[in-house]
Amino acid sequence: MKSSIKTTMVDRVKYSVIFWGITIIAGVYFIPAVILAYLNPFWFRDSAMFGLQRQVRAMSKWRGLQIKPIIDKYLAFQILKNS
């Protein structure tokens, strides 16, 4: 019983570290970039915002792929438990 609790806690910590680590590192780039794109008085303001949106979506997908094995493991346990 103790080993399963320990494993669960390790996975929670690993998930949190990966999720928030990537989010904070990406935020260091994206927050100033969004501010600059928003304050941009030139004609390419909209294209800069759309480009940043694409980059944020790509980063979000990549972050999801990094944490997917942890999530999938517990979803599989839930499916097996409910069947």
Give me the mean pLDDT over the 37-55 stretch. Answer: 85
Where are the chain's structural domains? 2-82
Q: Using CA atoms, how far apart are residues 29 and 51, in angstroms rounded to an integer?
A: 13
pLDDT tens-digit series, residues 3-12: 555 667 788 8
CA–CA dist 70, 15 (Å, integer):
7
Identify whether the C-beta of residue 34 lies closer than 8 Å to the C-beta of residue 60: no
Gap between the Cα atoms of 10 and 5, Å rounded: 9
Q: What is the mean pLDDT of residues 24-53?
A: 88
Q: In this predicted structure, what is the pLDDT of residue 5?
A: 58
Its pTM stands at: 0.71
68 burial level (CB within 10 Å; 0-12, 13-18, 19+): exposed
